[in-house]
């Protein structure tokens, strides 16, 4: 039994553990390494172009050739995977998001090219319709709402098309009910037994996705074409924690290999609770708004960019995340690398 009287001053002085770098290094409970990160990349059509994203300073939309170069940099630094998000031309967006099912669409071309050019990096793609719909929702709109079951059928087909293009991880980010099971079933039937499902199991209807929506060009679409003005009908209420356990349990039962919690920084408690409730690895997504907020504060001189970013990632790992999606992956991996070589730890 733990006897609290055993740990008392002056017998115990915790500052002894903190008195020098080597002592602190020696007792550090979690280490960040390049191998923890997934780098998101926004992809656009065309050749040799990069576009700044005003709401997301330091991140750009890239044509496939530049995305390949970034993926090579990531692999060289020991980052295991990239997550691809297409910014689709407005003229290709429709009410049903049909372009999502085109096997030669932008993201499929990007997956094929990256897999062919950077063999030792994992490629993850979102399963959701929002880049492709004229109303910006993750599914099809019927009678003023996003229709669950009709959307799930489309998502299962989208996942197979992404797997066929070479996607190693398909990541349903849509929050429809039952989609993980439908996707797993469709992948098995199509011979993609080794394609992983990273389920956005706990995705909150967050105010922190704004810069991402700007990046993929869906920012001002919600509310148009009869769709709701928000995603609260399918994404979770940030006030809820226990509900996250139900979302996770359902997705695990349906065949999720990995569970995503997002935004990570505002849901550290949820990351922790999922690691207690399930043995499935949990991934935290430091979303666009969290990253942009840090960058804006750093640009304003209110905090130091790299230490603040490092701390924000360290606590996501401490909460229990096995991996972290962050727009800062390359910068942090570069800082970590010189310490102990590529893929080094801090």
Residues found near ligand PBG in the complex (CB under 6 A): 126, 128, 130, 138, 173-174, 209, 212-213, 231, 287-288
Residue 345 DSSP label: B
Query: What is the CB neighbour count within 10 angstroms for residue 79?
Result: 26
Is the Cα dihedral 332, 334, 338, 344 positive or negative? positive
What are the percentages of helix, strand and coil residues in the chain, rounded to 5? Answer: 45, 20, 40
Q: Which is nearer to ligand PBG, 231 or 317 (CB)?
A: 231
Active site annotation includes 72: no
For residue 81, give the nearest of 177, 159, 160, 198 by alpha carbon: 198
Phi-psi region at 272: left, alpha or beta (left = phi > 0; alpha = psi -120 to 50): alpha
Report helix, strand or coil for 238. Answer: coil
Q: Is 340 exposed, middle or buried (0-12, 13-18, 19+ CB in 10 A)?
A: exposed
Whether residue 115 lies in the annotated active site: no
Strands 169-172, 145-146: pairing is unpaired
Pairing mode, strands 60-63 and 50-52: antiparallel
Omega of the bond prior to 263 within 30 degrees of 0, cis? yes
From CA 297, how far away is CA 295, in angstroms rounded?
A: 5
Annotated catalytic residue, options 72, 115, 231, 262: 262
Identify the CA nearest to 162 among candidates 105, 201, 215: 105
Q: How open is the CA angle 219-205-82, to the nearest 5 degrees?
A: 70
Of 72, 93, 115, 203, the catalytic one is 203
Q: Whole-number minimum distance, CB 251 to ligand PBG, in Å?
A: 16
For the annotated catalytic residues, the residue numbers are 203, 262
């Amino acid at each position: 039994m733990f006897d609290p009287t055993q740990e008392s001053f002056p017998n115990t002085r915790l500052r002894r553990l903190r008195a020098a770098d080597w002592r602190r290094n020696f007792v550090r409970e979690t280490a960040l390494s390049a191998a923890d990160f997934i780098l998101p990349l926004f992809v656009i059509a065309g050749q040799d172009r990069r576009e700044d994203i005003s709401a997301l300073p330091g991140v750009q939309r890239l044509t496939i050739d530049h995305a390949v170069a970034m993926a090579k940099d990531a692999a060289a630094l020991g980052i295991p995977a990239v997550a691809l998000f297409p910014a689709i031309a407005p003229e290709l967006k429709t009410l049903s998001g049909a372009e999502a099912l085109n096997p030669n669409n932008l993201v499929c071309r990007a997956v094929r090219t990256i897999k062919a050019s950077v063999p030792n990096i994992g490629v993850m793609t979102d399963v959701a319709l929002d880049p492709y719909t004229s109303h910006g929702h993750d599914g099809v709109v019927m009678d003023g709402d996003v229709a669950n079951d009709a959307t799930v059928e489309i998502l299962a087909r989208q996942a197979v098309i992404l797997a066929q293009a070479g996607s190693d991880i398909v990541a349903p980010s849509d929050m429809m009910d039952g989609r993980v099971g439908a996707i797993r079933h469709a992948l098995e039937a199509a011979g993609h037994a080794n394609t992983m499902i990273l389920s956005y199991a706990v995705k909150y209807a967050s105010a922190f996705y704004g810069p991402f929506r700007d990046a993929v060009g869906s920012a001002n679409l919600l509310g148009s074409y009869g769709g709701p003005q928000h995603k609260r009908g399918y994404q979770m209420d940030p006030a809820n924690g226990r509900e996250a356990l139900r979302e996770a349990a359902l997705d695990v039962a349906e065949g999720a290999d990995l569970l995503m919690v997002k935004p990570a920084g505002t849901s550290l408690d949820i990351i922790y609770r999922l690691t207690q409730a399930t043995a499935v690895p949990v991934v935290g997504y430091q979303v666009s708004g969290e990253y942009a907020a840090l960058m804006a504060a750093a640009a304003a001189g209110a905090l130091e960019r790299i230490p603040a970013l490092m701390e924000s990632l360290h606590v996501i790992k401490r909460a229990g995340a096995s991996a972290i999606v962050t727009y800062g992956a390359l910068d942090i991996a570069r800082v970590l690398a010189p310490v102990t070589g590529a893929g080094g730890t801090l």
